[in-house]
Structure formats: C-alpha cells, structure tokens
Copies of this chain bind each other. A is one copy, B any other.
Amino acid sequence: MKAPPARLILASPEDVEAAFYEAIARGDLEGLMALWAEDEEIVCVLPDGRRLAGATAIRERWRALFAANPRIVVRVSLPVRWNSGLLAVHHVVETFHSPDDPEAKSHVLATKVFQRGADGWRLLAHHASAAAELPDGDDDGAPRVSRRVLH
C-alpha cells in the first residue's frame, strides 16, 4: 500500500512566511504552491502589476519566474504584523539581491494575508509592489533586519 502524502502543518503565519521565502530561494514551485489556501479565493500581485487570481494563474507565473531566475535571494525587514487567531496580515520590506552582484539590489513592499484552517496557516494573498526609495534604517545592518533566506 502506498502511504498517503504527509500533511503539511504550518503552526503560525510566521512559519508560512519563512517557508515562502525558503521555497523562493530553492526555486521550489511545489513547495511554494503548497503554502496557499485551498477552497478559497487567492490573489497574488507581483511588482509587474498583474493581478493573478486563483492557483492556476499563480502557479504559471511563478513557474515562469523560477525558470527565468533560478536563484532569487530575498531579505525581509521592517515587519508589521497583525493576527486575530484566524486571519493574519504581515507587511514587510523585501530586498532582492542578485547572486552574481551583492551590490545590486531592489526593494519591494509586500503585504501577505494568512488564514488558519485544518492544517494550520496558509496564504490567501500576496501583494508586492516596487518600493520607491530605501526605507529608513533598512540598509544599516541593524539587528531588526532578519535574514530569512540567506542560510
């Protein structure tokens, strides 16, 4: 008998967020898609400004992104978090680094929405857009800058 697939239990929105950036760092499409809520309307906006609604559109976009950029290194800073126990929202600054040029980087503002269900927390929405300028203190190496993917 074939064992059923293991259920992925994510105990907190923070776990989903960490797994999100780890999947991006690995270029792991299945790992990334497993983080989204099923049976819910889900939405993803990336800095190109396209509105992706539903798992199929989201999967195709990330598949193309990973094919074009096998290594995406993201650092997360300035988190603002709200959590009601069933729904949670994180707003962060994402700093994208080029693996080939550590000095080359771009900043993105991201709002993530999480929902708690039978298997713990999952992603409902990810809204990311280009940041106009470096937020204060984002680039001074202060300890509040958490390196979630560079490990």
| Chain A residues packing against B (C-beta within 8 Å) | 40-41, 43, 45, 47-51, 53, 78, 80, 82-89, 91, 93, 109, 111, 113, 115, 124-125, 127, 129-133, 135
Given A87-B88, A89-B124, A127-B129, verify A82-B113 contact (CB < 8 Å). yes
Q: Which residues of B contact A127 (CB under 8 A)?
A: 91, 109, 111, 127, 129
User: Does A80 contact B132, Cβ atoms closer than 8 Å?
Assistant: no
Given A53-B80, A80-B53, A84-B84, verify A89-B125 contact (CB < 8 Å). yes
Q: Which residues of B contact A129 (CB under 8 A)?
A: 45, 47, 49, 127, 129-130
Residue of B nearest to A93 (CB): B51
Given A82-B124, A127-B127, verify A43-B88 contact (CB < 8 Å). no
User: Does A113 contact B89, Cβ atoms closer than 8 Å?
Assistant: yes
Q: Which residues of B contact A47 (CB under 8 A)?
A: 129
Taken together as a complex, chains A and B put the C-alpha atoms of A93 and B80 apart, in Å, by 24
Taken together as a complex, chains A and B put the C-alpha atoms of A48 and B109 apart, in Å, by 11
